[in-house]
Homo-oligomer: A and B are copies of this chain.
């Protein structure tokens, strides 16, 4: 709905886009003027008592072969039709040949969202640059003893001051973990303080002009007498970095998503760390998880979307973490653009561990 309308409607509505380029809207009488004002639907029908007769009449005129409707098991961005509205649609069209013509619109939506045009890439890049600016501010701000909550609060204040939107739910944007006691995953920041000898990990994304960033960075807090991070931190960091680079070397048009994940996953396992329990990457754009294709293992949860092929113009995250039992999470996430024969970084990748000192 965001892609084909960009606003809300009050009553049952139908938006019909044909392969010959026709755009027809059937909406409640009260919404009709607003839809006309968009200037993208050449025919806008504002109904009074119900839409069924208008919808049937339009379908008779169009004589469709297939009717792609917005449901999908694999792509949440193509799965907007509710079960109740689907039942209503079937009821309205009972006794007509149209329900037999229903197919999923997922392939159209996945293509539309997945293949980014230049303007879209520029907007994503702008969100990434803003996020990198916030990471620079955090480096200047953060001191041992601060809690996850304090660090998260600083970032949220800055996001709101700048007038950015959150790239995902504010309760988990940013995710801030520090030390081995931190909850992993999408947990909200709590009261655990940042201690010497522990890692600080932040997952942060902003939305600017409707497009998102999604980055993770890791810092290490030097312990008494240390001037560089110890060997276990260095080794975990190298493994995460190496896995991302293994994914990078595999990512190009035509490769199924699971193969990119497998390259990174293999590197992690060969390095002696356990497998990460998520996907290496997801599409990024209008939302933090934008479109179908995932760079993910062939698990039940990713079935049907990890087999999809990478396409030129896709923007992916590349992300994974290691956990150091005594120190905390070491995690990176980069944002990259698929080109005609490989990929380029949209973010400035973190290639070495950065340290925070107590002073």
List the number of copies, as a whole number: 2
- In the bound complex, residues from chain B placing their C-beta under 8 Å from that of A48 are 277
Q: Is A119 an interface residue (CB 8 A)?
A: no
B169-A7 in contact (CB<8A): yes
Among B49, B52, B87, B185, which residue has its beta carbon within 8 angstroms of that of A71? B87
A183-B33 in contact (CB<8A): yes
- Number of residues on chain A facing chain B (CB within 8 A): 53
Question: Per-position contact with B for A176-211: 1 when CB-CB < 8 Å, else 0?
Answer: 000000011111100000000000000000000000
Among the listed stretches A59-67, A77-85, A146-154, A308-316, which one makes contact with chain B, having 4 or more residues with CB under 8 Å of it?
A77-85
Q: Is A349 an interface residue (CB 8 A)?
A: no
A206-222 residues with Cβ-Cβ distance < 8 A to B are none
- In the bound complex, residues from chain B placing their C-beta under 8 Å from that of A188 are 34, 37
Majority SS at the chain A contact face: loop
- Cα–Cα, bound, A7→B172 (Å): 10
Closest B residue, CB atoms, query A7: B171
Q: A7-B169, A28-B185, A30-B277 are in contact. List 10 more A-B contacts (CB 8 A).
A: A30-B186, A33-B184, A33-B186, A33-B187, A34-B187, A49-B301, A51-B301, A79-B85, A81-B82, A83-B86
Binding site for B on A (CB under 8 A): 7-8, 10-12, 28-34, 37, 48-52, 71-76, 78-88, 91, 104, 168-169, 171-172, 183-188, 277-278, 289, 299-301
For the complex of A and B, list the 3 residue pairs with the smallest distance between their C-beta atoms, beginning with the closest: A30-B185, A50-B300, A79-B84
